[in-house]
């Protein structure tokens, strides 16, 4: 029963309500470490009732996009378009970029599962790749998450831009999902001099700013590629609250700088906290770590029994992604669980 | 200059910031009557920070959809899916329903312009119709807004359901945009016994509840038609604030009943207020009225000079849509402007 529940929890992060149903005896409150979302959310300003009542004005949407361009960068000749979450941009990309039915798309794996799901749903054939393909590969499009979720694999921005220029010159399309690039800004194609036609860069406000509930992301494309995105998204893709909150958050350089430092420190603390479990760090970003178990345990189940939801994967049963605890109480709960998860391997290693 | 500005204002409603730029000498504050959005918004409850920070839980999204099904109705075997505004559902419909490129779609006109824009952008050919077509018409899909914006044209629910059954049995698709059906609930297909495969019903939370900034709508379809919508919308199409606010609003039967009565009364007051202008009422719903001018005036320009934004149309230059003023100050401003817009026609009519 609980191992079936643990299997269900491996499909997606953030399902803390399902976890609580599956493990009714687990201590409360649940600590959700199953996502890569910053647990320290940008503070929500007082929102005027008008933000909920009327459509965002054209000037407000322009200001939001300008704030995003300031924060992320935006190459000459490129445009920034808001989306109601980056998830829907992932879902729309196959339809915008290709005659998706029958398209051949390469995907650098393992990675966030919605990309493959979106392309398959659109009728494309997905090819799982472990590295950038040759420019003459028999593919119509390529998807890369940079830095990657869950393993943090990173492709240097200059190398990727050079690849993108050749790839797209061959008439192919490139999706670069930079959902976690806020903590690796040097990787972003948006800091580069130009965005070739055929490249789509996706950004997420939810992860770094801890505002997943706001549902706001951005698509950045060469201006010549913008019309089909505008056609699909319409004029009011960002909500009034999203517009007001994110415009402020993206311009809050002091918060952004301090948060990058804090997340880096918290990530180091996460590694130290998990050390007693015998898990081996094998990647991640400053928003989450990926760890490998060499002891055959079902750690989704083990941590869930203690009221801590972590992320397991169907594709690699011995790997686990841990997000960051949001406060001292959560850190202490995690430390306590880790203390109970000492392995014989770890014990013997310690005994050596 | 101002007449060019007035022309630009005929393209879309809600552009009060553009109006203010075009008419800098107009009295403040601007009264925006250019949309069909209820100016008396549902009161925003206190929102917990979690609504912004984390993704809506599966249970919260289920509850939102249940509240919508309770409020709107939901036929046996149909499902309700949230969308980030009904606009994006309009934009996605051509891609979900047909191999849109080359599709032939009928559209009952005049109506909300995004439908035609969405189908044309998807490569379909749009045929403007003035009545329901024959079932054997050479069309792949049909779009009807019921009740219609801007003229309030209504198709009886039983008649439309009978048509839908035959239309869809012939392998054709039907989009029924019920964005304004909150004030004509008896027209909704969602009150019927079943939703045939091939029918998509669109609902909007923004109009009746006055919450356009929240960006929330619903798609209701036969359960067998749901997978491609789920594929495109993903798991988190509704924001946390939208989820929290709309679940409460849709369940607030007392507010809904009282608001229907108030809007009906306000609509009668709108007709009375406009009487001195000599405009002839020619349709609408309880959220807006459509009026015809027989005197060749540019009333978008005339009202904008007085700081009142109304909706003109590029397709019928002598028709104007007026939304409802939201408070007594706005009603008085409107009365004052109307008093200055007396026509010779109206004056002679009064003299008879």
Residue of A nearest to B244 (CA): A213
Question: Has residue A229 got a pLDDT over 60?
Answer: yes
| A45 and chain B in contact, CB less than 8 A | no
pLDDT in tens, A234-246: 999 999 999 999 9
User: Is A34 an interface residue toward B (CB < 8 Å)?
Assistant: no
Q: What is the CATH number of the domain that holds B84?
A: 3.40.640.10
Do residues A58 and A35 share a domain?
Answer: no
- Please, what is the average pLDDT of chain B? 94
CB contact at 8 A, B211 and B247: no
CATH code where residue B259 lies: 3.90.1150.10
- Using a CB-CB distance cutoff of 8 angstroms, which residues of chain A are in contact with residue B12? 235
A vs B, Cβ pairs < 8 A, gives: 174
Residue B351 has pLDDT above 60, yes or no: no
Per DSSP, the three-state class of A54 is coil
Residues from chain B that touch A114, judged by Cβ atoms under 8 A, are 234
From B345's Cα to the closest Cα of chain A, the distance in A is 36
User: What span, in angstroms and rounded, lies between the C-alpha atoms of A92 and B234?
Assistant: 10
The answer to whether the Cβ–Cβ distance between A44 and B52 falls below 8 Å is: yes
Q: Who wins on pLDDT, A132 or B343?
A: A132
Q: Residue B30 sits in which domain range?
A: 3-41+254-351
At B238 the pLDDT is: 98
pLDDT of residue A2: 53
Instruction: Check whether A351 has a pLDDT greater than 80.
Output: no
Determine whether the interchain pair B121/A12 forms a contact, defined as Cβ–Cβ distance below 8 Å. no
Task: Give the pLDDT confidence score for residue B2 in this predicted structure.
Answer: 53
Q: What is the DSSP string of B289-345?
A: EEEE-SS---HHHHHHHTTEE-EE-SS-TTEEEEE---SHHHHHHHHHHHHHT--HH
The pLDDT-based confidence of A1 (bands split at 50, 70, 90) is very low
Do B165 and B149 belong to one domain?
Answer: yes
What is the average per-residue pLDDT within A148-158? 97
Residues A279 and A100 sit within 8 Å (Cβ to Cβ): no
Asked if A52 lies within 8 A of B238 by C-beta distance, the reply is no
User: Both B138 and B198 in a single domain?
Assistant: yes
Residue A350 pLDDT: 46
Closest-CA distance of chain A to residue B279, Å: 27
Instruction: Single out the residue in A251, A273, A288 at which a domain terminates.
Output: A251
Instruction: Read off the pTM.
Output: 0.94
Query: What is the model's pLDDT at position B17?
Result: 86
Residues of A in contact with B231 (CB under 8 A): 91, 117-118, 121-122
Instruction: Choose among A58, A85, A91: nearest Cβ to B17.
Output: A58
What pLDDT, in 10s, does the model give residues B127-168?
A: 999 999 999 999 999 999 999 999 999 999 999 999 999 999
Residues 6+ positions from A162 with CB-CB distance below 8 Å? none
pLDDT digits (tens, 9 = 90+) for A270-296: 999 999 999 999 999 999 999 999 999
Q: Tell me the mean pLDDT in the region A200-223.
A: 98
pLDDT higher than 90, residue B99? no
At which of A251, A276, A310 does a domain end?
A251
Confidence (pLDDT) at A349: 47
**What's the pLDDT score for residue B133?**
98
Name the burial class of residue B10, with classes exposed (0-12), middle (13-18) and buried (19+) by CB atoms within 10 angstroms of its CB: middle
Based on the fold, state whether residues B218 and B182 are members of the same structural domain: yes
- Judge: B91–A215 Cβ closer than 8 Å, yes or no: no
What is the percent of chain B where pLDDT is above 70? 95
Name the A residues in 190-209 with CB < 8 Å from any B CB.
206
Looking at chain A from residue 276 to 305, which residues have their Cβ under 8 Å from any Cβ of chain B?
A: none
Given CA atoms B46, B47, B49, B52 in this order, what sign does their dihedral have?
negative
Confidence of residue A315 (pLDDT cuts 50, 70, 90): confident
Q: A234, A242, A327: which to substitute to probe chain B, counting the most B Cβ within 10 Å?
A: A234
Asked if A62 and A102 sit in the same domain, the reply is: yes
Q: What is the enclosing helix (H) or strand (E) of A64?
A: helix A58-72
A135/A163 Cα distance (integer angstroms): 8
My answer on whether A85 and A230 are in the same domain is yes
Q: Model confidence over A52-83: pLDDT tens digits? A: 999 999 999 999 999 999 999 999 999 999 99
B306-321 mean pLDDT: 93
Contacts of B241 in chain A (CB under 8 A): 52, 213-214, 239, 241
Query: With an 8 Å Cβ cutoff, are A84 and B85 in contact?
Result: yes
Q: Percent of chain B at pLDDT above 90? A: 88
Q: pLDDT for A6-56, tens place per residue?
A: 677 777 777 888 899 999 999 999 999 999 999 999 999 999 999 999 999
- The reply to whether A52 touches chain B by the CB within 8 Å rule is yes
Residues of B with CB below 8 A from A95's CB? Answer: 95, 232
Provide the shortest C-alpha distance from residue A87 to chain B (in Å).
7
d(CA A249, CA A42): 7
Residue of A16, A55, A58, A245 best to disrupt the B interface, most CBs of B under 10 A: A55
A213 lies in the same domain as A235 = yes
The predicted pLDDT at position A96 comes to 92
Taking the CA of residue A20 as centre, how many other CA atoms within 13 Å lie in the half-sphere pointing to its CB?
Answer: 13
CA distance B42 to B44: 6
Identify all chain B residues contacting A92, using CB atoms and an 8 Å cutoff.
232
Decide if A87 touches B, using CB distance below 8 A.
yes
- Rounded distance between C-alpha atoms, residue B112 and residue B177, angstroms: 10
Residues of B in contact with A16 (CB under 8 A): 57
pLDDT for B343 equals 67
What pLDDT sits at residue B348? 45
Q: What is the pLDDT of residue B314?
A: 84
Of B58, B122, B239, the CB nearest to A215: B239
Residue B232 confidence (pLDDT): 95
**B8 pLDDT band (50/70/90 cuts)?**
confident
Q: Looking at chain B, which residue has its C-alpha nearest residue A84?
A: B84
Q: Where are the beta strands (DSSP E) in B196-236?
A: 199-204, 217-222
Reference B228, options B99, B101, B102; nearest CA is B99
Co-location of A70 and A84 in the same domain: yes
* Measured CA distances, B234 to A125, A206, B257, B306 (Å): 19, 15, 33, 45
Structure tokens at B341: 């817009």
The residue among B187, B221, B251 that closes a domain is B251
Please tell me whether residues A245 and A146 are part of one structural domain. Answer: yes
Count of CB atoms situated within 10 Å of the CB of B138: 9
**Does one domain contain both B195 and B146?**
yes
Contact B217, B72 (CB under 8 A): no
pLDDT value of residue A32: 95
B40 to chain A, any CB pair closer than 8 A? The answer is no
Axis crossing angle, helix B328-340 with helix B253-274, rounded to the nearest 10: 20
pLDDT digit string (tens) for B163-209? 999 999 999 999 999 999 999 999 999 999 999 999 999 999 999 99
Q: How many domains does chain A have?
A: 2
Q: What is the pLDDT of residues B216-271, one digit of tens each?
A: 999 999 999 999 999 999 999 999 999 999 999 999 999 999 999 999 999 999 99
pLDDT-based confidence at B14, cuts 50/70/90?
Answer: confident
Residues A56 and A200 in one domain: yes
The whole-angstrom distance between B343's CA and the closest CA on chain A is: 33
Q: What mean pLDDT, rounded, does chain A reach?
A: 93
Same domain, A235 and A283: no
């Amino acid at each position: 029963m609980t191992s079936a529940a643990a299997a269900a929890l491996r499909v997606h992060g953030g399902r803390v309500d399902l976890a609580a149903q599956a493990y009714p005896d687990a201590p409360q409150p649940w600590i959700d470490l199953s996502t890569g979302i910053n647990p320290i959310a940008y503070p929500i300003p007082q929102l005027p009732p008008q933000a909920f009542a009327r459509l965002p004005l054209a000037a407000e949407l322009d200001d939001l996009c300008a704030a995003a361009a300031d924060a992320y960068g935006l190459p000459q000749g490129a445009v920034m378009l808001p989306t109601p979450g980056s998830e829907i941009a992932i879902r729309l990309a196959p339809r915008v970029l290709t005659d998706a039915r029958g398209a051949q798309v390469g995907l650098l794996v393992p990675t966030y599962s919605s990309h493959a799901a979106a392309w398959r749903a659109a009728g494309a054939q997905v090819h799982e790749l472990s590295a950038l393909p040759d420019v003459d590969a028999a593919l119509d499009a390529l998807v890369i998450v940079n830095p990657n979720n869950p393993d943090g694999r990173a492709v240097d921005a200059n190398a990727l831009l050079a690849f993108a220029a050749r790839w797209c010159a061959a008439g192919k399309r490139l999706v670069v999902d930079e959902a976690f690039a806020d903590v690796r800004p040097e990787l972003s194609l948006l800091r580069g001099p130009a965005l070739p036609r055929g490249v789509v860069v996706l950004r997420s406000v939810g992860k770094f700013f801890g505002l997943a509930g706001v549902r706001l992301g951005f698509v950045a494309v060469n201006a010549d590629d913008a019309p089909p995105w505008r056609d699909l998204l319409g004029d009011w893709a960002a909500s009034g609250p999203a517009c007001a909150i994110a415009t402020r958050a993206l311009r809050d350089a002091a918060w952004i700088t301090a948060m990058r430092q804090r997340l880096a420190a918290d990530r180091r603390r996460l590694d130290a906290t998990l050390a007693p479990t015998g898990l081996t760090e094998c990647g991640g970003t400053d928003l989450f770590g990926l760890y490998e178990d060499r002891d055959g345990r079902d750690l989704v189940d083990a941590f869930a029994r203690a009221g801590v939801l972590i992320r397991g994967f169907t594709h690699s049963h011995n790997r686990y992604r841990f997000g960051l605890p949001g406060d001292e109480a959560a850190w202490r709960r995690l430390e306590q669980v880790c203390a109970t998860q000492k392995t014989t391997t770890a014990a013997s290693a310690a005994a050596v």
